[in-house]
Structure 1
């Protein structure tokens, strides 16, 4: 009995020591990038099998009020919004309200070449339409309240970059069009549909369609870094990025999102699988993108990834399906990107698993 107790104690001690060592390595990795405890910072999470195994905050959430970030801080997630837009499209397909192979002319008859561009092309960034973030005239509307139709009208007559399906080129305009199609097909506002059908169902009580006017408790404030020091982020009206980049969330809510996907809480397995399928161009070349996710790998282990960048904020998440590991990072200064950090954290966790 004594030997059994001793053996259990040794195993438990070894597991705890390994976990502590991994935590120390991750702390050191993050602090090598987020070096200023009194500057804007970041929050990070690692979850395994749906439960957090690492969750920490570094730096300040509001420089003017001298308040620190915490693991419940609410961040703008930028282009990680595209995951929610893609799943919303698939939810409408499952309800019979649209099909991903429908041409966009079915919903927006006046869209140039709209009979050749499909919802699938928009989802996979293969439509060829001009990305509005690259247009010089963007500054003219950046702070205006725009309807989805006005946003689509802003870029729809720009010359196409290539024929639909000819190549993959990351494109925010496509996801704005998707948001407009969501509203036309459902009869609901995009933000209302996302809240009712995703946030509420997944229990994401601290996730929002972004606003600079609403009182949002525990909000992280965004910053830029200039030669003179930090400044408050540039103001943008969130109706401009719309369904391509206007959501806000927390570490724990994004874990609820990932768990909801894993548990098929929002979609049937067959429909959801479309989001995580690698698709092909017209010439048969496979692209590393599904619907709302980059489909890549860490040393040969498949991953589902996406980041985000919007004035004052950057975000990144990597999910490793084979191990049910989710790694996530948010930054409240666009001077600090969590992208490589999150990938390196995922790599560390995979290497740690191999040593056990």
Structure 2
């Protein structure tokens, strides 16, 4: 009897390992196809319980020199930097050097509404301050070195969009100011603060701030795709401008190391981590929160010059996924990261979703086609696989949908609802609290 049990356990271990290897192979193929189809170039890292279980790269860090991307290639991670900055600010609060209630006027009284804006308003993007990066001509202006005084003049010169703590609106201004506040408290440059509090604490050897990526140091150039080729971005942001709002350079593995360290208590106590992940209108402090199969998925994305990046961490599963790219063409990294997660958890029984109604081919045929709308950035093509409805946004992977009703479907991983109206050939898409009406295109 014991031999039978041991045999069964051994068989299950071999089967599960084989299944996981197959899943990772599918992810590798998916990522490799991105470069061959001219959709993206970059690196993907997956962590499980603090260890990297998968890493793959596709494309080039320098197209001109035919230098291929690799696991150690460095990229600008842009706004993912905000998660690091929020962590530093919460560390300062835990050390009683600052409070969530501290006023912006304590540091920059000359700024609009400074006496009413609190530190927590900056962290939650609820200050109302105008997003400085939206100023006309800013991308060219910031390509040269800019001092703190010059940045503050830009911020001071714009009226607030709304009164503090009345709503949420993403603004890089908030995290630029938080960086300056950290510098004033610590009497050090933000690059030094980042190194001491984050990089050194987690032994990150390839993450830094204050200097640009260099190809000679395995750093990636950034590109855009046009005229059937990848072209180098020529107007490059001076890294000292965005500072703690978007200035960090890192690689996919070390970004994953940071998120794992953050959620495993190496950087913040449980009390402050809970504060950081408590959301207001979908945003935490330096974090966004999504649902993945009913579980919270925390992370952030980033875009600067031609660089695009995204990081996500599922505390329930202790799984992190990071994608760093130096070129992206007509595709969404948000959709890609969910596709990667779907493949990774393909054999996880707890992730299985089943339709609530049985459908026939005849039920699906009227729904098939291409749908588009003015408020939605992609067209969505609906096809079928036998009696299962599939959806694909422009340039994105195909997703299987589950049927809640005969006309209502859900992409369970991301919580996207598709409500079809056969009478007027439309579908109402509900995602992240917003609705988009798409109409079927006539052939």
TM-score normalised per structure 2: 0.74
Partner of 1:45: 45
SS of equivalent to 1:19: helix
Partner of 1:246: 247
Instruction: Tell me if the contact between 1:85 and 1:243 (Cα under 8 Å) persists in the aligned partners.
Output: yes
Higher relative contact order (CA 8 A, sep 6+): 1
Residues 34 and 352 (structure 1 numbering): CA distance in 2 closer, same or farther, change over 3 Å?
farther
Deviates more, 1:209-218 or 1:90-99: 209-218
Post-superposition offset of 1:97: 1.3
Partner of 1:308: 302
Q: Deviations over 1:137-164 (max 9, x none)?
A: 4145222212233212212220111111
Residue from 308, 320, 338 that aligns with 2:333: 338
Post-superposition offset of 1:29: 3.1
Partner of 1:90: 90
SS of equivalent to 2:158: coil
Q: Deviations over 1:172-195 (max 9, x none)?
A: 111111111111122111111001
Partner of 1:292: 286
Q: What aligned pairs does 1:130-209 form with structure 2 within 5 A after superposition?
A: 130-139=130-139, 141-209=141-209
Partner of 1:128: 128
Contiguous gaps of at least 5 residues in structure 2 = 352-443
Query: Could you say which structure has the higher helix fraction?
Result: 1
Instruction: Tell me if the contact between 2:24 and 2:344 (Cα under 8 Å) persists in the aligned partners.
Output: no
Instruction: Tell me if the contact between 2:256 and 2:311 (Cα under 8 Å) persists in the aligned partners.
Output: no
Q: Deviations over 1:253-285 (max 9, x none)?
A: 122212321332222221222111113xxxxxx
Task: Answer with 1 or 2: which has the greater Rg.
Answer: 2
Post-superposition offset of 1:210: 4.9
Instruction: Tell me if the contact between 1:129 and 1:156 (Cα under 8 Å) persists in the aligned partners.
Output: no
Residues 137 and 311 (structure 1 numbering): CA distance in 2 closer, same or farther, change over 3 Å?
closer
Partner of 1:269: 270
Residues in 1 aligned to 2:57 and 2:126: alpha-carbon distance in whole angstroms:
37
Residues in 2 aligned to 1:228 and 1:26: alpha-carbon distance in whole angstroms:
25
Q: Deviations over 1:168-222 (max 9, x none)?
A: 1111111111111111122111111001111001111110115237686221221
Residues in 2 aligned to 1:100 and 1:153: alpha-carbon distance in whole angstroms:
25
CA RMSD between the two structures: 2.2
Partner of 1:60: 60
Instruction: Tell me if the contact between 1:145 and 1:237 (Cα under 8 Å) persists in the aligned partners.
Output: yes
Q: What aligned pairs does 1:207-226 form with structure 2 within 5 A after superposition?
A: 207-212=207-212, 217-226=217-226
Residues 174 and 216 (structure 1 numbering): CA distance in 2 closer, same or farther, change over 3 Å?
farther
Residues in 2 aligned to 1:43 and 1:19: alpha-carbon distance in whole angstroms:
20
Partner of 1:283: none
Instruction: Tell me if the contact between 1:34 and 1:58 (Cα under 8 Å) persists in the aligned partners.
Output: yes
SS of equivalent to 1:45: strand
Instruction: Tell me if the contact between 1:97 and 1:186 (Cα under 8 Å) persists in the aligned partners.
Output: no
Partner of 2:318: 324
Post-superposition offset of 1:165: 1.3
Residues in 2 aligned to 1:306 and 1:140: alpha-carbon distance in whole angstroms:
25
Contiguous gaps of at least 5 residues in structure 1 = 280-286
Query: Could you say which structure has the higher strand fraction?
Result: 2
Partner of 1:282: none
Residues 215 and 221 (structure 1 numbering): CA distance in 2 closer, same or farther, change over 3 Å?
closer
Residues in 1 aligned to 2:25 and 2:264: alpha-carbon distance in whole angstroms:
31
Partner of 2:360: none
Instruction: Tell me if the contact between 2:111 and 2:155 (Cα under 8 Å) persists in the aligned partners.
Output: no
- Does 2:344 correspond to 1:349? yes
Deviates more, 1:54-63 or 1:206-215: 206-215
Instruction: Tell me if the contact between 2:34 and 2:58 (Cα under 8 Å) persists in the aligned partners.
Output: no
Partner of 2:261: 260
